Amino acid sequence: MAPAAVSAESSGTTTPTTKSASALTQAGIKHMRAGSSTQAPLDASLMTTELTKSPRAVPEPESPEVLAQKTCTDHMVTAKWTVESGWEAPELKPYGAFSIMPTASVLHYATECFEGLKLYRGNDRKLRLFRVSRNCERMRKSAARIALPDFDPRELEKLIKALCARDGAKWLPKDRPGFLYLRPTMIATDAALGVQRPKEALLYIILACFPDMSKSLGAPAPPALNGTVNGDGHAKPASSGLKLLASNEDSVRAWPGGFGFAKVGANYGPSLVAQGEARARGFDQVLWLFGSECYVTEAGASNFFVVWRNKETGRLELVTAPLEERIILEGVTRASVLQLAKQRLAKSIEGIEAVDVVEKRFVMDDIISAYKDGRLVEAFAAGTAFFIAPVGHIHFRGKEIQVPTEEGESGVYTRVIKQWLMDIMYGPEEHEWGVVVDEVA
């Protein structure tokens, strides 16, 4: 078992290039080339820093610049990987373009995955990330699905924090609560057209100015939704909350055995036709259904929740699609909603009735019959970008569902869950999910 002995001996943290070749058997070298533990691991402690010489002005919140979603902070973090040597030392450096060859794998085969999370400036002036370790774990899973290299998620977390610490103080002024959007990304950069596992990759983290999407939701709807009759001859009364258009039979976001559970770019490009169509017809997002049964899966790039009264038990239920089939993305927000609801809504509080929290398959017909029976209580979308957004309206193949929003803007459960999460993200609630970042002054 010579190869095993070699790989065990060389599985330390030093890079393989520092080892003398004679110390490795032929088999060991082959093993190394195939991508073994001799590759250097991602190591945040090796990060080098080069500060920008041309710092930029911070745009005003909700300014056209912010709404355009093009502005990033002064710096970014990058780390290169090659199959021969593993991870190189990460670099914190000025934000800017990088060059890749036209043959780069990512440009042809969608060898890309990403994460999305926010950096919050709290009401208490502290800088926080929300459950960042979950995003790092998920990025690792997404990378594995698309044949991108593995890494220790704790090292990614350190790199994210380093960027936040560097740019947080300037880009999230202490006197005004708000957030920036973090986009850790990994792409395969091999300059070769062969359809094969990537041999080179680039991990990078950028920190972008981002509009508060929840503010844009109350915008007046296009005429088609304001009680007039639109193209398909249906009157659509105005209502508050998100307006969702259920997907058609010919448009599927994800399927068993696919990659809908991974945050890979390949999931999003192909969804833009349906999304564009929904927008053009005056809807905010697509409600993605699956199969001839019309299983309800997700709303846009957010998880979907419904509250209804169970016909059999007579009890209130907070329901969302399950993870087993791997056709939905396991949102950090989703997991947090489920956990908080289980902990805090198991018994009635402050006059709010208790709910059973259930992850199960459900279909459009379940929503329709709850609506018709008056058992539909509320619905909301949950994800980092839209946060917790009440749903007011669902259009499903000629049928209109007015989802109740009991308190006008939203339902009771949507409101309390959103508030609990905000208290953790912005303070005042000290909670293990709210990870305080020490900033460089």
Ligand X SMILES: *Cc1c(COP(=O)(O)O)cnc(C)c1O
Residues lying near ligand X in the complex (CB under 6 A): 116, 263, 298, 301-303, 329, 331-334, 383-384
**Chain mean position to CA 50:** 29
Going through 200-241 in order, the beta strands assigned E by DSSP cover: 200-208
CB-nearer residue toward ligand X: 260 or 282: 260
**Please, what is the minimum distance in Å from the beta carbon of residue 216 to ligand X?**
17
CA atoms within 13 A on the CB side of 181: 23
Burial letters 66-80, b for 16+ CB under 10 A, else e: beeeebbbbbbbbbb
Taking the complex as a whole, the smallest distance from the CB of residue 251 to ligand X amounts, in Å, to 14
> What is the dihedral sign for C-alpha 100, 101, 102, 105?
negative
Toward ligand X, which CB reaches closer, 230 or 268? 268
Looking at beta carbons only, is 166 or 334 nearer to ligand X?
334
* Residue 303 near residue 320 (C-beta atoms within 8 A): yes
Closest residue to ligand X, based on beta-carbon distance? 331
Residue 350 tokens, joined: 């402050």
Q: Which is nearer to ligand X, 87 or 181 (CB)?
A: 181
CB of 123 to ligand X, least distance (A): 22
> CB 149 → ligand X: shortest distance, Å?
21
Q: Rounded CA gap, 277 and 52, in Å? A: 41
Name the helix (H) or strand (E) containing 390: strand 387-396
- Compute the CA torsion angle 79, 433, 382, 149 (nearest 10 deg): 20
Minimum distance of ligand X from residue 116's CB (angstroms): 5
Nearer to ligand X, 199 or 334 (CB): 334
Of 10 and 303, the one with the shorter C-beta distance to ligand X is 303
- CA distance between the termini of the chain: 54
Minimum CB distance to ligand X, residue 384 (Å): 3
| CB closer to ligand X, 107 vs 385 | 385
The CB-of-369 to ligand X minimum distance in angstroms stands at 26
Instruction: In angstroms, give the least distance from the CB of 144 to ligand X.
Output: 17
Query: Tokens representing 104?
Result: 């780069």
**DSSP one-letter string for 237-305:** ---SSEEEEEPPTT--S--TTSSTTS-BGGGTGGGHHHHHHHHHTT-SEEEEEETTTTEEEEETTEEEE
Going from the C-alpha of 190 to that of each of 52, 96, 200, 411, the distances in angstroms are 28, 20, 5, 50
**Smaller CB separation from ligand X, 28 or 260:** 260
| CA pair distance 337, 359, nearest whole angstrom | 12
Shortest spacing between CB 217 and ligand X, in angstroms:
16
In angstroms, the CA 31 to CA 6 distance is 9
Nearest to ligand X of 157, 298 (CB atom): 298
